[in-house]
Amino acid sequence: MPDSSDNPPLVLVLCTGNSCRSQMAEALLQKAAGDALRVESAGSKPSGYVHPLAIHAMKEINLDIGECRSKSLEEFLEQDVDTVITVCGNADQACPVFPGQVRRYHWPFDDPADAVGSEEEQLEVFRRVRDEIDRVFSAYGLGRKDAHP
């Protein structure tokens, strides 16, 4: 049996556009879980970009998602996905069944891309959503890390 550190379980974070919430969740979960998990994010209808305010909000907590790309969930259909976590209602409804999938969670968050107002007001929404995602995904990641020493 291979060492789990050589082949950590894949957690796929899904959203519709894969431009904000799922990108932030991917980075936060990977940070919390370390080598215990392989974390990826994708969208049912990928936007093709990572939102600049998501990049900015994550840089404020020393996580750089500026080189990330918006990916389609179809890229992961043939992979051995251990857990799927959806972060918005549309992705939860459109999420395909992954063969061999052990876990599935739906943890909805507001879409910061829908924020209105000045850039600073919009950034405040991104920070709030980032912090909400951080609380949930960091706790989950630390729990998975503790369960797989």
Give the chain's domain count: 1
For residue 20, indicate whether it is catalytic: no
Name the nearest CA neighbour of 45 among 25, 13, 19.
Answer: 19
Q: Encode the chain (149 residues) as per-residue pLDDT tens digits.
A: 444 457 999 999 999 899 999 999 999 999 999 999 999 999 988 999 999 999 999 999 999 999 999 999 989 988 889 999 989 865 555 555 566 667 899 899 999 999 999 999 999 999 999 999 999 999 999 999 887 65
Flag whether 5 is in a domain: no
For residue 15, indicate whether it is catalytic: yes
Flag whether 148 is in a domain: no
pTM over 0.85: yes
CATH of the domain at 95: 3.40.50.2300
Catalytic position from the list 12, 29, 88, 129: 88
Flag whether 102 is in a domain: yes
Flag whether 144 is in a domain: no
Flag whether 47 is in a domain: yes
List beta partners, residue 40.
12
Domain span at residue 125 reads 10-139
Catalytic position from the list 12, 14, 15, 123: 15
Catalytic position from the list 38, 56, 72, 95: 95
